[in-house]
Amino acid sequence: MGGNQTSVTEFLLVGIPLSPRMQLLLFGLFSVFYAFTLLGNGVILGLISLHSKLHTPMYFFLSQLATVDIAYACNTVPQMLVNLLSPAQPISFAGCMTQTFLFLTCGRTECLLLMVMSYDRYVAICLPLRYSTIMNWKVCDTLVMVSWASGVLMTLVDMLLLLPLPFCGPQKVNHFFCEIIAILKLACADTHLNEVVIVTGGVFLLLGPVSAIVVSYGHILRAILKIQSAEGRWKAFSTCSSHLCVVGLFYGTGIIMYVGPQHGDSQEKKKYLLLFHSLFNPMLNPLIYSLRNREVNAALRRRLGKGRPL
């Protein structure tokens, strides 16, 4: 990183300017949310790996989503907690760039995984007789690998444009962690190309998958309405509604953050919106899937039942 001719070796994350008592309160609250995120997604991963009935493509994709959420939370939340206890604690230049890379990679991978999950539901409900043929394990592995690889490669483009920029001060990043838009504001050079690439990537990775998901669920809704039994309609709707809740939370925040204007007073509001996105989304995803999914609930009850003393 010495080749980027920067005089800044570390950054200070501004976060939320609050009183020490309020910072301590938020530290405790965020720590609980973080623990629930790790516990909830860990339980999802454990149930899927331990119960053979959950060894299906749908739950394979769900396990990948849980993995992304754990990585997402572990990359951003600990730094928030450190800043709440020690607001003046700096983060190194290398650490900041690493955090930016991991944040973008996890976010973009989740974008693509959610689109893959909607395609899986489309095939399961609209083409049930061909489901096992279309969604075989080779196809599932390929879709997951392409999602991860695409997330990494697109982030590498942003990092290759970010690292050569000179940073000559100030060192204060107006965010809770090293978010790329906040970092670009500190560069002592023209960042127009960086912003164009970020917005273009946002359009491709947000509006593109959202359009595909809307089309998929249009077909799914039409297929659900044709199901004769009420139980069959409820099962299909329950599974799809869980996915739609997660899609709405994730894509709604992402579109506001990276497709809308990147300047003006809205940036401060976006900072707090991204706090919700980083802290609550990974925690809510396992709750949404477990509360609205009979198979996950049944697997959890069986596992808890086995642990009870006679």
What residues pair up with 13 in beta bridges, in sequence order? Answer: 173
CATH of the domain at 95: 1.20.1070.10
- Tell me which residue range forms the domain holding 120: 10-260+268-288
Q: How wide is the angle at C-alpha 70 spanned by C-alphas 21 and 194, nearest 5°?
A: 85
Distance in angstroms (rounded) separating the CA atoms of residues 213 and 207: 10
Question: In this structure, is residue 165 part of a structural domain?
Answer: yes
- Supply the pTM of this predicted model: 0.85
* pLDDT > 90? residue 300: no
Instruction: Please tell me the predicted confidence (pLDDT) of residue 2.
Output: 45
Q: How confident is the model at residue 4 (pLDDT cuts 50, 70, 90)?
A: very low
Question: In this structure, is residue 2 part of a structural domain?
Answer: no
Comparing C-alpha atoms, which of 203, 176, 217, 201 is closest to residue 76?
Answer: 176
Average pLDDT, the chain: 83
Question: In this structure, is residue 53 part of a structural domain?
Answer: yes
* pLDDT > 90? residue 154: yes
- pLDDT tens digits, 100-130: 999 999 989 999 999 999 899 899 888 888 9
Distance in angstroms (rounded) separating the CA atoms of residues 68 and 172: 28
What residues pair up with 92 in beta bridges, in sequence order? Answer: 10
Question: In this structure, is residue 215 part of a structural domain?
Answer: yes
Question: In this structure, is residue 3 part of a structural domain?
Answer: no
Q: How confident is the model at residue 6 (pLDDT cuts 50, 70, 90)?
A: very low
Mean pLDDT, to the nearest integer, of 166-173? 82
Residue type, 174: N
Instruction: Please tell me the predicted confidence (pLDDT) of residue 260.
Output: 59
Question: In this structure, is residue 305 part of a structural domain?
Answer: no
Number of folded domains in the chain? 1
Q: How wide is the angle at C-alpha 197 spanned by C-alphas 191 and 201, nearest 5°?
A: 145
Instruction: Please tell me the predicted confidence (pLDDT) of residue 262.
Output: 53
Question: In this structure, is residue 18 part of a structural domain?
Answer: yes
Distance in angstroms (rounded) separating the CA atoms of residues 99 and 75: 6
* pLDDT > 90? residue 153: yes
Give the gyration radius of the chain's Cα atoms. 21
Instruction: Please tell me the predicted confidence (pLDDT) of residue 284.
Output: 83
Question: In this structure, is residue 307 part of a structural domain?
Answer: no
Mean pLDDT, to the nearest integer, of 228-255? 75
Cis omega before residue 170 (within 30°)?
yes
- pLDDT tens digits, 270-292: 777 777 778 888 888 887 776 66
Residue 133: exposure state from Cβ atoms within 10 A (0-12, 13-18, ≥19): exposed
Mean pLDDT, to the nearest integer, of 25-37? 92
- pLDDT tens digits, 44-90: 899 888 888 889 998 999 999 999 999 999 998 998 888 888 777 78
Spatial CB neighbours of 194, under 8 Å, sequence gap ≥ 6: 158, 161, 162, 165, 180, 184
Mean pLDDT, to the nearest integer, of 235-252? 76
Spatial CB neighbours of 117, under 8 Å, sequence gap ≥ 6: 58, 61, 62, 65, 243
Distance in angstroms (rounded) separating the CA atoms of residues 15 and 172: 10
